Amino acid sequence: MKKRSVIYLAKKAEDKKYKGLKEGQARVTGNTRIRHSYLEGSIVNVEEVDGDYILCSRLKQRNKDYKHTQWIHKNDLVIR
């Protein structure tokens, strides 16, 4: 079995973190600062940025007239 370099493994982990994200989207990675209802690993849309907090909405909305949004701390997201 080949030994893999630390740089290669770090790059592979970084690529996996952004996999499936389009521009203006983010992946939820935690729940540390503010309690929110998004599952860890789910993809959300970025609506607005205000300092350290980001207003996010669900990728698929149930009701088109009502948009479910929540504020999430930037440490809990991987943003593209």
pLDDT(1) > 60: no
Give CA 74 to chain center in angstroms.
9
36 residue type, one letter: H
Query: Which one-letter DSSP state was computed for residue 75?
Result: G
Domain ranges of the chain: 21-79
Which residues lie closer than 8 Å to 57 by C-beta, 6 or more apart?
A: 44, 45, 47, 67, 68, 69
In the CATH scheme, what architecture does the domain 21-79 have?
Roll (2.30)
The per-residue pLDDT for range 29-76, each reduced to its tens digit, is: 888 767 778 888 888 999 999 999 999 988 877 777 778 888 998 888
